Each structure stands twice: as C-alpha cells, then as structure tokens.
Amino acid sequence: MAPLRFSANVSWLFPELPGLTARLRAAGSSGFEAAEVAWPYAEPPEAVARAAREAGLRLVLINTPPGDREKGEMGLGAVPGRQAAFREGLEQAVLYARALGCPRIHLMAGRVPQGADRAAVRSEMETVFLENLRHAAGVLAQENLVGLLEPINTRITDPQYFLDMPQQGHVQVAQVPGRGEPDSPGELNFPYLFQLLEDEGYKGFVGCEYRPLGDTAEGLNWLRSYWERRGRPQAGQ
C-alpha cells in the first residue's frame, strides 16, 4: 500500500507567519509537496502561483469566496437571494484555479441566514444549492476541474453551516475537540485512521487543517514520524 500524501492548509498552518507567500515557503521547507488555500483572493493569482512554484508546491484545493464575512457569511452556495454573487465568486475561483494549476474547488454551501430557523428554510436552501451546483457542474466541466462539497460539524465547528451530511472526496484532519495537531491530546487515534485510509486505497491528499498549538514546523513531528515509518510518496503521484 502506498503512503498517504499530505497537503498543508496554509490558511490554518503557520499562523506565526505574516502572509501567504511566507506560509507557502514554510510549507515547502517543512517537506510538504502540496498546499491548500481557503481564499487566495487577496493576492493576484500570478503572485500566488509564483510563490507556490518557488516553494516547490502544487496547489490542490481552494474554496469559492465566502461572501461578506462581516455579515457572517461563510460561502453562498445554498443562501437564498445570493445566487448571482455565488456565480460571480465561482468565476473568480475558476480564474484562480486555472492560474494556479489547482484541480479542485470547494463549493462552499454557506450558513443558514441569521435569525432564520434551519427547519423552516431547509427546503428553500436545498433548492438554491441544487440550482447552483447544476450551474457549477457545467462551468467546472468546461475547465476540467473538480468541485467538492464539505460538510461541517454543526454541533462543534459551525452550528449555522447548512451542509452537515457525510461525503468523501477530500480528507482533512485535526484533533478533536481542540482542533490541534493529530498527535495532540484528544479523542482520535490518527495512526489507526491513517491506516484505514491506506487500507481503503485512498489516493487523494490529506489536508492538514488544524490549529497549531505552537510553532507549526516544530509541531510537525507527527508527520515526520509518519514519513519515517511509511516513507514518502513519489513526487507527482
């Protein structure tokens, strides 16, 4: 069985560093071959692509824009009345994915609108989400890109997020309940879970989307131990 491939989610890792370029450089220096960026849109796509290339990284996942975060938005895919903004954001995400050579875009469903009852708006939000996903499927197919959906734990992580159903297309890891490194104190046995992924023949990247408890590079002992035990995937696999 081939060893797992890990990607650094630099929107979470290396928070001790000031910007995206520095975080990408640190991820490359720490041995990662790939990275994820939630929202790269504050930087021109060419600058992000150049930074990743200089760090020896390939970008494997970005998100569609979140919407108006000051108003509490966290994606727009299922939000009634925001269909036009979702589609504009999708076009921006596709532009970045093309420039970055990034094959996957997370189509963020978004949150139940503030003040609304989840049960009361569920049907309308499902209808909006399906309409937007049909549109996105056509756009992404033309660009040979993959759209991903990410259910978020509404009991712990984000109680207002709309999508809370099991899906599997891309795996991300963090310890529970503190969202620290996989080897930090918590409920999950990651060596066991990594073995399950290997046994299932999972070929995608495992995104490191956790909140470092200290210096990010020093906290990567769990990953170095994995590489020592299982070896590292060949570049480009």
Closest CA to 53 of 31, 37, 73, 33: 33
The single residue listed with the structure tokens 């925001």 is 82
Peptide bond into 44 cis (omega under 30): no
CB atoms within 10 A of CB 45: 17
The 3-state DSSP class for residue 2 equals coil
209 labelled catalytic: yes
**Of residues 150, 198, 200, 228, which has the active-site annotation?**
150
Q: What is the rounded CA–CA span in Å between residue 190 and residue 195?
A: 8
**Of residues 187, 209, 218, 228, which has the active-site annotation?**
209
The single residue listed with the structure tokens 């069985």 is 1
What is the Cβ-side half-sphere exposure of residue 74, based on CA atoms within 13 angstroms? 15
User: Which positions are annotated as active-site residues?
Assistant: 150, 209
